[in-house]
């Protein structure tokens, strides 16, 4: 294939940009020599098309190289799949946090870390903090990458658009400044939209699997559904009597689970906004809620001896300040499992991708892994995960990684085995 050649106009622009670089950086002899050889007239007023063009082009090349590397990594993940023996997939599908290998510590926030989320494909992880910032890190190296600034008060939640087949191009953040922001990874993490409508602190956010909508929970006692493309609030769900702390969306995108200070878990129809069930049983504030993936639902179904086949949204787990994790049947409202083992408030829960385990963290500073196939027996406890309360947790769906955040202002990424 013949090498591409520049047009006369492109050659002139290139020479002028080189002249600009030489002049700006004080390479006088080289500047005068090139100007003499090319015969070009150089205007160094900084207002020309070629002003700082060489540096801009160089920065663009570096960014493109990084994007190419990220896309190659993403393609590798897609080609290998989460259960194939690719280099990025965990060798053990039942991976557990290692107590032998020290976790990678991410330090840089100036206040408590409130929320944490792995990017579904890239080697990135986002942390939210009471310092009003969101930090982006490389979770493999532990290196800090950037800070997303825009909120004026504590950031309480982060969530990537990571539904099935989604690329994670958007990051949603929720704040005590009453707003939600959407950040575009493909546009250099630019904030492309600010969603306003809540009257109080926004506690939690979750994308629908399609990525078309975002659901938020607030201290104003409501759950709102937002259209991502426009930023409009398309529905407000009223089901709680007090502060709504957590929210999640079922795998089929039909139902919303929310929890809060009224000790309840509310299951709502996302399309109509109607409350379809209220789950009662906790004796204190319910901090977090998570729908069981269908794979996990089938596991629970076998344990409880259900006569009907589980469907998306059938089961939900909740973590409370009453020190328990509970698993519920959303259709009947029955509590099917109570997990006891924490000595303090439970702040965060997450389902393991193997369909068997449930993880939880809390103010006792521990990380507990529960085996749902064995009536919730504890299979791994990591004590003293952080120096202070553990506030948040995330499990990478495709890698053998678990991450936690804490009031000690750090986050940790655990290699698993």
The domain locations on the chain are: 8-41+49-79, 90-415
Residue 345: pLDDT band (50, 70, 90) is: very high
pLDDT attached to residue 85? 31
pLDDT attached to residue 70? 58
Virtual torsion, Cα 350, 354, 358, 363, nearest 10 deg: -50
pLDDT attached to residue 84? 32
The region of weakest confidence among 76-85, 162-171, 222-231, 331-340 is: 76-85
Dist CA 291 CA 170 (whole Å): 21
Per-position b or e across 25-56, b if 16+ CB within 10 A of its CB? eeeeeebeebbeeeeeebeeeeeeebbebbee
Average pLDDT, the chain: 90
The region of weakest confidence among 39-43, 157-161, 254-258, 272-276 is: 39-43
- The answer to whether residue 385 scores a pLDDT higher than 60 is yes
One CATH from 2.60.40.420, 1.20.960.30, 3.40.50.150, 2.60.40.10 for 8-41+49-79: 1.20.960.30
pLDDT attached to residue 99? 79
Strand bridging mode 315-320 / 286-291: antiparallel
pLDDT attached to residue 398? 84
Return the number of other C-beta atoms located less than 10 Å from residue 120's C-beta. Answer: 20
pLDDT attached to residue 72? 61
Dist CA 102 CA 106 (whole Å): 13
Nearest to 176 by CA among 141, 142, 126, 220: 220
- The answer to whether residue 2 scores a pLDDT higher than 70 is no
Helix, strand, coil shares of the chain as percentages rounded to 5? 20, 40, 45
The region of weakest confidence among 15-24, 40-49, 72-81 is: 72-81
Nearest to 177 by CA among 235, 119, 133, 208: 133
pLDDT attached to residue 88? 57
The region of weakest confidence among 64-78, 159-173, 362-376 is: 64-78
- The answer to whether residue 351 scores a pLDDT higher than 70 is yes
pLDDT attached to residue 32? 85
Q: Are 116 and 109 in contact (CB under 8 A)?
A: no
174-227: pLDDT as tens digits: 999 999 999 999 999 999 999 999 999 999 999 999 999 999 999 999 999 999
- The answer to whether residue 86 scores a pLDDT higher than 50 is no
Of 2 and 118, the structure prediction assigns the larger pLDDT to 118
Fold of 90-415: Methylamine Dehydrogenase; Chain H (2.130.10)
3-state secondary structure of 362: strand
pLDDT attached to residue 23? 85
Mean pLDDT of 353-358: 96
Dist CA 249 CA 103 (whole Å): 30
Of 76 and 354, the structure prediction assigns the larger pLDDT to 354
- The answer to whether residue 157 scores a pLDDT higher than 70 is yes
Dist CA 295 CA 371 (whole Å): 14
- The answer to whether residue 348 scores a pLDDT higher than 80 is yes
Mean pLDDT of 341-345: 98
Mean pLDDT of 319-328: 98
Residue 82: pLDDT band (50, 70, 90) is: very low
3-state secondary structure of 382: strand
How far are the Cα atoms of 193, 212, 214, 234 from residue 227, in angstroms, in the given order? Answer: 11, 6, 7, 7
Instruction: Show Cβ contacts of residue 182 under 8 Å, excluding neighbours closer than 6 positions.
Output: 170, 171, 172, 191, 192, 193, 194, 195, 214, 228, 231
3-17: pLDDT as tens digits: 457 787 778 888 888
User: pTM of the full predicted structure?
Assistant: 0.79
% of the chain exceeding 70 in pLDDT? 88
pLDDT attached to residue 126? 98
Dist CA 67 CA 172 (whole Å): 21
Residue 252 tokens read as 């089929």
């Amino acid at each position: 294939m013949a090498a591409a050649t520049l047009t006369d106009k492109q050659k002139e622009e290139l020479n002028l940009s080189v002249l600009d670089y030489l002049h700006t950086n004080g390479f006088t002899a080289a500047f005068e020599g090139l100007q003499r050889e090319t015969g070009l007239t150089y205007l160094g007023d900084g207002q020309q098309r070629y002003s700082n063009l060489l540096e801009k082009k160089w920065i663009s090349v570096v960014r493109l190289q990084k994007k190419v590397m990220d896309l190659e990594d993403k393609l590798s993940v897609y080609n290998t799949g989460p259960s194939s023996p690719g280099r990025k997939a965990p060798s053990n599908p039942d991976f557990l946090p290692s107590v032998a290998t020290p976790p990678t510590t991410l330090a840089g926030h100036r206040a408590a870390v409130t929320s944490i989320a792995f990017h579904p494909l890239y080697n990135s992880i986002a942390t939210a903090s009471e310092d009003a910032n969101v930090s982006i890190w490389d979770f493999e190296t532990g290196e800090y990458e950037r800070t997303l600034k825009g909120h004026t008060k504590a950031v309480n939640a982060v969530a990537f658009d990571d539904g099935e087949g989604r690329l994670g191009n958007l990051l949603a953040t929720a704040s005590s400044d009453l707003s939600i922001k959407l950040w575009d990874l493909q546009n250099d993490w630019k904030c492309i939209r600010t969603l306003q409508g809540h009257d109080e602190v926004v506690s939690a956010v979750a994308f629908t699997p399609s990525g078309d909508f975002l659901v938020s929970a607030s201290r104003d006692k409501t759950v709102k559904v937002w259209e991502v493309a426009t930023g409009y609030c398309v529905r407000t769900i009223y089901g709680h009597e007090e502060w709504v702390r957590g929210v999640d969306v079922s795998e089929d995108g039909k139902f919303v689970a929310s929890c809060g200070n009224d000790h309840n878990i509310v299951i709502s129809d996302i399309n109509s906004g109607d409350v379809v069930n209220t789950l009662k049983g906790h004796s204190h504030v319910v901090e977090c809620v998570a729908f069981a993936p269908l794979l996990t639902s089938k596991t629970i179904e076998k344990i409880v001896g259900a006569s009907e086949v589980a469907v998306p949204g059938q089961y939900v787990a909740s973590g409370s300040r009453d020190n328990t994790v509970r698993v519920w049947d959303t259709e009947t409202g029955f509590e099917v499992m109570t997990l006891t083992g924490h000595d303090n408030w439970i702040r965060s829960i997450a389902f393991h991708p193997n369909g068997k385990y449930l993880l939880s963290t809390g103010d006792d500073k521990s990380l507990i892994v529960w085996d749902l196939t064995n009536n919730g027996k504890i299979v791994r406890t990591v004590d003293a995960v952080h120096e202070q309360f553990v506030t948040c947790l995330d499990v990478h769906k495709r890698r053998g990684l678990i991450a936690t955040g804490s009031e000690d202002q750090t986050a940790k990424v655990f290699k698993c085995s």
